[in-house]
Copies of this chain bind each other. A is one copy, B any other.
Amino acid sequence: MLESLKEEVLQANLELPKKGLVTYTWGNVSGIDRSKGLIVIKPSGVPYDEMTINDLVVIDLKGNIVEGHLNPSSDAPTHVVLYDKFPDICGVVHNHSSWATTWAQAGRRIPALGTTHADYFYGYIPVTREMNSDEIQGQYEEQTGKVIVETFKEYNPMDMPGVIVRNHGPFTWGKNASEAVHNAVVLEEIAKMAYHAYQLTPGLEPISDVLLDKHFFRKHGKDAYYGQK
C-alpha cells in the first residue's frame, strides 16, 4: 500500500545525509496521504545507508502502526500532532542540523536579516517555549507537537514552514516530504548566515516589511513570478 508515497518518503529521508543535515540517524522524514489519513515515516534508529522501502512504517493519525515490521521514529507522535493540527501540510522533517540546532540551544528565534530568509519564511522563525516537567515526563513527543502548535497561534504554517524547538532542534514541513526537506536545507543555511551576521554586527534589526513582502510574494501566492509557470 501507499507505494508511491513510500518511495517519496524514502527519497526524502535519503536526501538528509546527502545534504549534510544529519549525523548518524539524527533525523526523520514523513509524508501523509490525506485521503486515507495514513502517514509513512522512517523507522527508529535505522542507518540511512541500510534503509530500504520495506523498512518504512505506516501509522494512522492516532499513531497506531498500520503496516511495518519496525518501530516508527520515536518522534512519530510529534509528526502526528503536526499533521492533525496543520491540515495543509503533507510532509514533515525533524533533524539536528548544526546551525539550526545552535539557535535551538541558544533558545532564540531567527530574524529575517536578508532576502534569502524572506524568500521562504515570512518573518521571524519562531522558537518554542521551554517545556515543563509534566510535559517532558509525560507523553513527551506528543507534547512537543502541542508546544509547536501553541507557538503557531499567530503563524500560518504555510507561510512559516518551520520552527525551532527550544533546546532540541528544528522541525520543517511543506506540501509534501520533498518540500519539507527543501525547507530543512534552507533553514540550515539561513541559520548559518544569521549567526554570522549577528557576530559581525550584534543587535542587527530585521529587514523592512516592504522587502520581506516583496521577496516572500515573489515566490508565494497568486502574484508569484519566480521560476516557471
Copy total for this chain:
4
Which residues of the other chain, B, contact A151 by a CB distance below 8 angstroms? none
Give 1 or 0 for each of A12-38: 1 = CB within 8 Å of chain B CB.
Answer: 000000000001111000000000000
How far is it, in angstroms, between the C-alpha of A197 and the C-alpha of B108 when the chains are bound? 10
A90: interface (CB < 8 Å): no
How far is it, in angstroms, between the C-alpha of A130 and the C-alpha of B204 when the chains are bound? 14
A66: interface (CB < 8 Å): no
Which residues of the other chain, B, contact A196 by a CB distance below 8 angstroms? 98-99, 102, 195
A210: interface (CB < 8 Å): yes
Which residues of the other chain, B, contact A114 by a CB distance below 8 angstroms? 101, 104-105, 167-169
- Enumerate A192-229 residues with CB–CB distance to B below 8 Å: 192-201, 204, 207-208, 210-211, 214, 218, 225-229
- Enumerate A31-75 residues with CB–CB distance to B below 8 Å: 43-46, 70-71, 74
A186: interface (CB < 8 Å): yes
7 sample A-B contacts, Cβ–Cβ < 8 Å, listed by A number: A24-B182, A24-B186, A44-B226, A45-B226, A98-B196, A113-B167, A136-B211
Residues on A close to B: CB < 8 A?
23-26, 43-46, 70-71, 74, 96, 98-99, 101-108, 113-116, 130-131, 133, 136-137, 140, 167-169, 182, 185-186, 189, 192-201, 204, 207-208, 210-211, 214, 218, 225-229
